[in-house]
């Protein structure tokens, strides 16, 4: 027999300990601040120890509180995962984690087709490129670019191999072909070694120390479209702009060694399976850069 305190009391304490403020815990659990405070006090009385110390506006965990948190947070994460794994529903909200620029440049322009096919599923997008933590992350589907092995507990849907190449405004195309070093090289903090990687794979010489650096990949692409220089970009991020004549890829594309995949928990509900199947179909229809073959 397990002798456990009230689950509500444990949830209230865990949320308060994680946020460091009872007000934020109350917002997460959709209850009042006083309800969180009462539950924590009730838990402290049952356990016979103080779990928080310090003034109300700067609470901190006691040693006992820290020990309890170390066990509770992973336990609630596992409960959440267990519930998700058997929630066999085809409607409701679908949480999708995806790199920000890929979301804006590839996923969102195509998402209306999924909505038309499945109007009862609301897709909620979160921008992230960080490695997937299958236990702590609360996504239904995560789209990532990288290399195997992927987490063994996740189901992998391959989308397409990444192709990269220099892209610039049409007015700079001739200069890129003639002497790429004569054109400012644009960089992104999220892919600091893009030029070095491309130069090595393409057998070309490009000094990746020159040019301007942008905080976000999307800003760098906008700078390239505005004629401020040339940047290395993956085909999926720029395909629509290339077809529209906003950008040009005068030196073509080469394989980066990375792959775009969709990751989901195995045995998860049907709506995530429907979304991954739709993604695979969109990726197949999307195709490869001109001149590339499977």
For the chain, give every domain's residue range. Answer: 7-86, 92-160+258-286, 163-255
Mean pLDDT of 162-185: 93
Give the class (CATH, top level) of 7-86.
mainly alpha
pLDDT digits (tens, 9 = 90+) for 122-136: 999 998 888 887 656
- Determine the Cα–Cα distance for residues 69 and 254; give it in Å rounded to an integer: 48
In which band, very low, low, confident or very high, does the pLDDT at 66 lie, cut at 50, 70 and 90? very high
Greatest C-alpha distance within the chain: 77
pLDDT at 120 over 80: yes
- 163-255 CATH pick, 3.40.190.10, 3.30.870.10, 3.40.50.970, 3.40.50.170: 3.40.190.10
Tell me what the mean pLDDT of segment 176-188 comes to: 91
CA–CA gap between residue 294 and residue 287 (Å, rounded): 9
Strands laid side by side in the 121-127 sheet:
121-127, 92-98, 141-146, 254-265, 154-167, 231-234
Q: What is the pLDDT of residue 12?
A: 93
Fold match, 92-160+258-286 / 163-255: yes
Work out the burial of residue 288: count CB atoms within 10 Å of its CB; fewer than 13 is exposed, 13-18 middle, 19 or more buried. middle
Q: 3-class SS at 61?
A: strand
C-alpha–C-alpha distance, residues 73 and 220, integer Å: 39
d(CA 186, CA 224): 8
According to CATH, the superfamily of the domain at 92-160+258-286 is: Periplasmic binding protein-like II (3.40.190.10)
Mean pLDDT score, 39-64: 89
Residue from 125, 108, 109 nearest 243 by CA: 109
Examine the pLDDT at 91 and tell me if it is beyond 60: no
pLDDT reading at 293 higher than 50: no
Nearest to residue 240, comparing CAs of 144, 105, 74?
105
Q: Mean per-residue pLDDT for 117-124?
A: 92
Find the mean pLDDT for residues 4-10. 88
HSE-CB at 17 with a 13 A cutoff on CA atoms is 24
Q: Per the confidence metrics, is the pTM higher than 0.75?
A: no
3-state SS assignment for residue 50: coil
For position 156, what pLDDT does the model report?
A: 93
């Amino acid at each position: 027999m397990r002798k456990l305190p009230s689950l509500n009391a444990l949830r209230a304490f865990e949320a308060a300990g994680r946020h460091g403020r009872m007000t934020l815990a109350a917002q997460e659990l959709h209850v009042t601040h006083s309800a969180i405070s009462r539950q924590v006090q009730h838990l402290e009385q049952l356990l016979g120890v103080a779990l928080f110390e310090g003034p109300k506006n700067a609470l901190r965990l006691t040693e006992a509180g820290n020990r309890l948190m170390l066990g509770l947070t992973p336990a609630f994460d596992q409960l959440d995962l267990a519930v998700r794994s058997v929630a066999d529903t085809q409607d409701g909200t679908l949480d999708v984690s995806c790199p920000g620029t890929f979301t804006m440049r590839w996923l969102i322009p195509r998402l209306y087709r999924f909505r038309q096919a499945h109007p009862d599923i609301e897709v909620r997008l979160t921008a992230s490129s960080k490695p997937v933590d299958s236990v702590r992350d609360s996504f239904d589907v995560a789209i990532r670019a990288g290399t195997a092995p992927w987490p063994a507990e996740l189901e992998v849907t391959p989308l397409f191999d990444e192709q990269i190449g220099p892209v610039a405004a049409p007015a700079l195309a001739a200069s890129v072909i003639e002497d790429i070093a004569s054109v400012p090289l644009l960089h992104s903090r999220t892919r600091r070694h893009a030029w070095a990687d491309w130069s090595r794979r393409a057998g070309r010489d490009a000094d990746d120390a020159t040019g301007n650096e942008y905080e976000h990949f999307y800003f760098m692409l906008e700078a390239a479209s505005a004629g401020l220089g040339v940047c290395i970009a993956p085909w999926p991020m720029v395909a629509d702009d290339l077809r529209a004549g906003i950008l040009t890829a005068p030196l073509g594309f080469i394989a980066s060694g990375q792959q775009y995949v969709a990751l989901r928990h195995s045995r998860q509900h049907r709506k995530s399976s429907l979304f991954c199947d739709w993604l695979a179909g969109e990726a197949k229809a999307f195709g490869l850069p001109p001149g590339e073959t499977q």
